[in-house]
Amino acid sequence: MEIETYDPLAGKETLIIYMTKSGEDRITLSGGMLTQDRNTRILRDSYDYRPVHKRRVDVGERLRCSAVVPGQTLPSRRTIPTDWVVSEVESYEPTIDIPGFREIVIAYCERKPLSLEEFRDSIYDNNVKVSVDSFGGDEEACSQFLNSEKVKGYVQV
């Protein structure tokens, strides 16, 4: 007989804070009223909602950002590497009194610039592309899908 354990943090996300390692330069944020000209060690924060056993930040992981590149019919979204690489990871589990997150992970990063060639090789497009092959060769089904209103603005042909 399997015993079910009550987990008060079930379904709670993991907060991940990427920050510069102590001794690294602070970065200056340019942006909205709250962040403009602010010096900080925090590079990015994110929330991980995946199943708990899949939530992890690996040492050596390079931070990436997204950029929109104007296209002919749809803009293309590209994922671009940054100079920041995770060098250390710490995890903290909150007490039962503060169940805001399952855990908080701090990923310390160091600046490790890429060569131009490495940078170019690390860029990739992440738009959805649809072709006849997506429909197992059924041209009519593909055509109906591409002409439907709900597809406009979301996929590239």
What pLDDT is stored for residue 133 in this prediction? 77
pLDDT, mean of each 10-residue run, the chain (157 residues)? 71 88 73 69 86 87 81 68 91 75 90 84 69 80 76 57
What pLDDT is stored for residue 127 in this prediction? 61
Cβ atoms of 37 and 12 closer than 8 Å: no
What pLDDT is stored for residue 100 in this prediction? 77
What pLDDT is stored for residue 94 in this prediction? 77
Q: Which residue has the tokens 């059924």?
A: 138
* The model's pTM: 0.65
- 5 sits in the region (left: phi over 0; alpha: psi -120 to 50; else beta) called beta
